[in-house]
Amino acid sequence: MTHEWIDWLLASSTPTIRYLTQVDLLDRPADDESVAAARRAIMSEGPVPAILATQTAEGHWPSEHSYYTPKYVSTHWSMMLLAELHADPSDGRIQRGVDFMLGKASASLAGWQAEEATGFSCLWGNILRYALPAAPDDERLSLFIDYAIHDLQSGHCNCRMNGHIACAWGVIRTLWGLALIPRSARSHELQAAIDDALDFLLGQFHLEQADYPTYDGGAIHPLWFRLNFPLFYQTDILFALRILADLDALDHPGAAAALDWLATQRRSNGRWRGSSPYRSRTWTALGPAEETHRWVTLHAARILKRAGRLSIS
């Protein structure tokens, strides 16, 4: 007998939620008819085709001031959302978007590296996340990977936006991009940088306390203790745990308290309540508030199942 909250996820108007529920929570194989149908639907119904509908032939989105502004509908943010929605990276429109962004951003990053600067790690890590699946052999990606290694090991992504000190958001966003590189394909230097970043997040500080360095010595952003979807350059406990799952690091002792916290946020109906702080500034195609609750419930359940803390039968 399927749990009611699973039926609720499967009733989503967002094909990605239906797809991930079947694959990650119900363990259905890729060739299952309902799984294949949901995977195909990602590109034909719901938010993905709506976001892609206004993309230009050059791969960017019209009426933007730059690939970064306005937040959160210009090219960079749109590509991030498409990655979150599991848009097909082989689709020509995704390929064009990635090529456009790599062309623009690699020039910016090259200048950044020439100055031996650090920071804005969230931007470079986010680009890696949507570019790696679509263009794994693009030589421009090595620039971003090399920078990520340097940035993680030069003060844990110290950033001018955080008073030139270590930035937990930057570390997590950098790991979001690097997590897509299989462990077998990581260089010794890359793996060492990832391990050092995990020690920073889970050994030196505490995920569930958010006691990371801040430029004014104050508390970290209040978003940290909410359950949000989508986030852009920001992070919260839920997003950080998603990255730990990607890195097979949920068994790290430093993750235990955060996993405990996430489990306590579950409601009596089996669901988690989500927040969407940037709903009014991004694509309306993401749907109503109930879809936010579905996204957060899906991600929370995937994490706890992966950690061996949630059984679905």
Report the distance separating Cα 92 and Cα 52, nearest Å.
11
∠ CA 261-231-141, rounded to 5°: 115
Residue 132 neighbours by CB under 8 Å, 6+ apart: 141, 177, 180, 181
Side chain identity at residue 169, one-letter code: W
Within a domain: residue 258? Answer: yes
Amino acid at residue number 162: N
Give the per-residue pLDDT at 67: 96
| Residue 313 in domain | no
The reply to whether 211 falls in a domain is yes
Let me know if residue 177 belongs to a domain.
yes
Largest pairwise CA distance in the chain: 60
Is 245 domain-assigned? yes
pLDDT at residue 210 in the model: 93
Q: Is 20 among the domain residues?
A: yes
Residue 312 lies in a domain: no
Query: Once rounded to an integer, what is the mean pLDDT over residues 151-177?
Result: 94
Nearest-angstrom CA–CA distance, 48 and 50: 5
- Beta-carbon contacts of 199 under 8 Å, excluding residues fewer than 6 positions away, are none
Q: Which residues pair with 228 in a beta bridge?
A: 275
For residues 96 and 55, is the Cβ–Cβ distance under 8 A?
yes
> What percent of the chain shows pLDDT beyond 70?
99
Would you call 190 helix, strand, or coil by DSSP? helix
d(CA 253, CA 18): 32
Specify the number of domains making up the chain: 1
The model's pLDDT over 43-99, given as tens digits with 9 standing for 90+, comes to 999 999 999 999 999 999 999 999 999 999 999 999 999 999 999 999 999 999 999
- Of 35-44, 87-96, 115-124, 157-166, which gets the smallest average pLDDT? 115-124
Task: Kindly tell me the burial class for residue 178, based on how many C-beta atoms sit within 10 Å of its own C-beta (0-12, 13-18, 19 or more).
Answer: buried
Q: For residue 311, is it within any domain?
A: no
Contacts of 233 (CB under 8 A, 6+ apart): 122, 123, 126, 169, 173
Q: Which tens digits make up the pLDDT trace of 282-310?
A: 999 999 999 999 999 999 999 999 999 99
pLDDT at 1 over 50: no
Whole-angstrom distance between the N-terminal and C-terminal Cα of the chain?
Answer: 7
Nearest C-alpha neighbor of 195 from the set 158, 204, 119: 204
Task: Report the chain's mean pLDDT, rounded to a whole number.
Answer: 95
Domain containing residue 291: 4-306
- DSSP, residue by residue, 64-114: -SSSS-STTTSHHHHHHHHHHTT--TTSHHHHHHHHHHHHHHHHHHHHHHH
61: left (phi over 0), alpha (psi -120 to 50) or beta: beta
Residue 256, domain CATH: 1.50.10
The predicted-structure confidence for 182-219, as pLDDT tens digits, reads as follows 999 999 999 999 999 999 999 999 999 999 999 887 77
